[in-house]
């Protein structure tokens, strides 16, 4: 999904450009008004650059569309794994896209690639879960995370 293409109508693009340009000169009171309309809470510390950049993103998001919600959630879940702040949001195990799981099974080495959308690719097929990928390799059902030797998810 491409949010911006060259074929985008000139007028909408320019109006977005205009809006963005207006942000730079807008007085703080106006900026706050715009902020409150778009975001649930104000940041603790005021930084004009930060507010403007967030607002600019929101304007473009509304005009061109944002990141698919699923993908965004996926990224956030991945982020939690790499963060010391645990919120306990993702129940599932999330591997970074591009991770390769290596497993030897019956003399053959299998490599499972984690795709951008969180799917698992093995033997040129895509699977939604690791267990499904494990089934593809072994022919029988077994726990994917166990099969690939993933560390167990820590309970917070």
Partner 1 sequence: MKGAKKKDLMAPGLNPEVRMKRCAVYCRVSSDENLDQSFNSIDAQREAGLSFIRSQQAEGWVPLDGTYEDPGFSGGNMERPGLQRLFRDIRSGVVDMVVVYKIDRLSRSLADFAKMVEMFDSCNVSFSAVTQQINSASSMGRLMLNVLLSFAQFEREVTGERIRDKIAAAKAKGMWMGGPVPHGYQVIERKLMIQPDEAKVVKRIFQDFAELRSVAMVIEALKRDGMNARSGKPFAHQTVRTLLTNRTYIGELNHKEKSHPGLHDPIIARDLFDCVQEIFDHDARLRGSRNPRTAFYALLSGLLFGPNGVKMLATWSRGKTGQKFRYYRMLGYGGKAQPTRRSMMFAMKEVDRLVLDQVYGVLKSPTMLESTILEVEKVRPDISELSVYQAMQNMAAIWNELYPQEQRKIIETLIERVVLSDQELEITWRLVDWNVSLDQLHPNGIPAELVRREAGGRMDMIKVVGEIQTINVEPSAEGERPVVKTVIPIRHRRKGIKNVIEPNPALAAEGVVPQEKPQFQMPLLTALSRAFYWQWLLDEGRVESGSEIARREGLHPSTVNELLRLTILAPDLVQRILKGEQPEGLSILWFTRNRLPMEWKTQFTAILAKDYN
Which residues are near partner 1 by CB under 8 A? 1-4, 13, 16-17, 20, 39-41, 43-45, 50, 52-54, 56-57, 60-61, 64-67, 71-72, 75-85, 87, 96-104, 107, 111, 115-117, 148-152
- Which residue, 28 or 96, is less far from partner 1 as judged by CB? 96
- Which residue, 4 or 28, is less far from partner 1 as judged by CB? 4
* Of 118, 108, 9, nearest in space to 64 by CA: 9
State the nearest-atom distance from the C-beta of 33 to partner 1, in Å: 19
- Which residue, 115 or 132, is less far from partner 1 as judged by CB? 115
Cα(17)–Cα(13) distance, integer angstroms:
6
Cα(116)–Cα(132) distance, integer angstroms:
18
State the nearest-atom distance from the C-beta of 31 to partner 1, in Å: 14
State the nearest-atom distance from the C-beta of 136 to partner 1, in Å: 17
- Which residue, 17 or 33, is less far from partner 1 as judged by CB? 17
DSSP SS3 for 58: helix
Write the CA distances from 154 to 14, 49, 92, 96, integer angstroms: 49, 38, 11, 17
- Which residue, 98 or 124, is less far from partner 1 as judged by CB? 98
Tell me the H-state helices in the chain: 10-25, 28-38, 48-64, 69-81, 130-138, 144-147
State the nearest-atom distance from the C-beta of 142 to partner 1, in Å: 13
- The separation between CA 10 and the C-alpha centre of its own chain, rounded to angstroms, equals 29
State the nearest-atom distance from the C-beta of 79 to partner 1, in Å: 3
């Amino acid at each position: 999904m491409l949010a911006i293409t060259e074929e985008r109508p000139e007028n909408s693009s320019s109006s977005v450009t205009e809006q963005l340009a207006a942000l730079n000169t807008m007085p703080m009171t106006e900026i706050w008004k715009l902020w409150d309309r778009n975001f649930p809470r104000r940041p603790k510390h005021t930084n004009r650059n930060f507010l403007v950049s967030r607002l600019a993103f929101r304007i473009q998001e509304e005009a061109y569309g944002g990141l698919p919600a699923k993908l965004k959630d996926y990224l956030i879940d991945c982020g939690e794994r790499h963060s010391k702040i645990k919120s306990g949001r993702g129940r599932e195990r999330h591997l970074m896209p591009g991770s390769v799981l290596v497993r030897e099974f019956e003399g053959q080495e299998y490599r499972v690639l984690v795709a951008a959308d969180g799917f698992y690719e093995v033997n040129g097929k895509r699977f939604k879960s690791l267990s499904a990928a494990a089934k593809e390799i072994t022919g029988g059902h077994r726990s994917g995370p166990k099969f690939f030797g993933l560390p167990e998810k820590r309970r917070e």
